[in-house]
Amino acid sequence: MSGGGRSVAHSRVVGLLVALTAVSGLILAAGRGVRADDETITAIPIRTFMSAAIGQRVQGVIWRGGIEMQSQTDTFGGLSGLGFTGPDGRLVMVSDRGNFVSGQLLYDEAARPLGLIGVSITAIQNSSGRDLPRPFARDAEALTVIERDGIPTAVRVGFENLTRVADFQLVDGIPQGAAREVAIPDWLSETRTNGTLEAVCVAPAASPIAGSTLLLTEGIIDDDGQHAAYLLGRNDRGRLSYVSGNGTDPTDCAFLPNGDLLVLERGVAFLSFRMRLVRVPAADVKPGAHLTGEVLLQSFGADIDNMEALAVHTALTAPPASRWSPDNNFNDWERNLLLEFSLPE
């Protein structure tokens, strides 16, 4: 761990851990094209995590609270990526049904997650400005926010099955318009399964690879038995790999402001989900590297779900925190959770 990591006193590590499973074509078709403003999202507070109360340390992080999100809207769910587009809790999520879910995360007087308001659900468009035509093309798995001079201007989205990366302009914090395709290596775009591109994140200004985009795969294994990855950058471009834990695979990534990399892993053990959060020093993230790191948190069982998304948020109005949320794959037995943690000072 680099020395700068412990000094991130105002960084909020937000992880949307999302549980995804196969969905029938009929349900996918029924939900297409929906554009809904001010959807009602019911939030049920979560006050303990692994028997810890809010404010208590859990392994290498501090528990800050969470919510379980519920909605009668059939297009809310399958959440697989998360990014914050403003300091006021404005956020954007992607769904594996091919939708953007935008809203604002609120906190109570004790700075605990309270609920999600102002939610809108809009269909992701292709490069021609049309809604994505079929389930094979809609499987959005990752989202990261692109900033210009410190202002969020776009989101970069990674897809599996029809493996690709595309940018979407932000207007008032909400992605809009046609996709702008981002060139990725042929070995990645030509691999078309539901285990390809799971994580996309952009390195911050303090990183040795500032501005480069890390692409991290779930099911593409290289000759060394590690998860294949690639860096897109002007000066930092090339293959690298990630070494995951036994029984878990990478599902999302996010950079801390000092350039350290966080990787979220998920898996299944004894008919329940499991997850790990790993921190990789900034200096280790470079072409040719075999990425390994320090495990900050690992859990399994009822405290989590199919945790699939991770985001880092710098918050000036609330304590430093880290969030994850689960994708419920539109299954009634899986939950949409948003769990928040912070790094010890």
Q: What DSSP string runs through 307-330? A: EEEEEEEE-SSS---EEEEE--TT
Q: What is the pLDDT of residue 143?
A: 97
Distance CA 6, CA 80 (A): 28
Q: Report residue 166: phi and psi, to 5°.
A: -145, 150
Type of residue at 141? E
Strand, helix or coil for residue 27 = helix
**Mean pLDDT value of segment 149-178:** 96
**Mean pLDDT value of segment 290-319:** 83
More confident residue, 9 or 249: 249
For the four alpha carbons of 198, 140, 254 and 257, in that order, the dihedral sign comes to positive
31 falls in which pLDDT band (50, 70, 90)?
A: very low
Average pLDDT of the chain, as a whole number = 83
Strand, helix or coil for residue 72 = coil
Cross-strand partners of 117: 104
Q: What is the pLDDT of residue 315?
A: 53
Percent of the chain with pLDDT over 90: 63
Q: What is the pLDDT of residue 316?
A: 38
- Please write the tens of the pLDDT for every residue from 205-258: 999 999 999 999 999 999 999 999 999 998 999 999 999 999 999 999 999 999
Question: Which structure tokens are listed for 9?
Answer: 């006193």
Q: Does the pLDDT value for residue 126 go beyond 90?
A: yes
So where are the chain's domains? 3-342
More confident residue, 44 or 38: 44
Q: What is the pLDDT of residue 166?
A: 98
33 falls in which pLDDT band (50, 70, 90)?
A: very low
Q: What is the pLDDT of residue 344?
A: 86
More confident residue, 108 or 25: 108
| Eight-state DSSP code of residue 124 | P
Query: Lowest mean pLDDT: which of 3-12, 189-198, 257-266, 296-305?
Result: 3-12
Distances (CA, A) of 292 to 35, 206, 240: 41, 20, 11
Fold of 3-342: Tachylectin-2; Chain A (2.115.10)
- CA dihedral angle for residue 92, residue 69, residue 297, residue 157, rounded to 10 degrees: -20
Q: Give the burial class of 344: count Cβ atoms within 10 A of its Cβ; 0-12 exposed, 13-18 middle, 19 or more buried.
A: exposed
Q: Does the pLDDT value for residue 276 go beyond 50?
A: yes
46 falls in which pLDDT band (50, 70, 90)?
A: very high
| Eight-state DSSP code of residue 21 | -
Percent of the chain with pLDDT over 70: 82
More confident residue, 66 or 328: 66
Q: What is the pLDDT of residue 76?
A: 76
Distance CA 199, CA 82 (A): 11
| Eight-state DSSP code of residue 131 | B
For the four alpha carbons of 302, 324, 65 and 45, in that order, the dihedral sign comes to negative
87 falls in which pLDDT band (50, 70, 90)?
A: confident
8 falls in which pLDDT band (50, 70, 90)?
A: very low
**Mean pLDDT value of segment 121-127:** 95
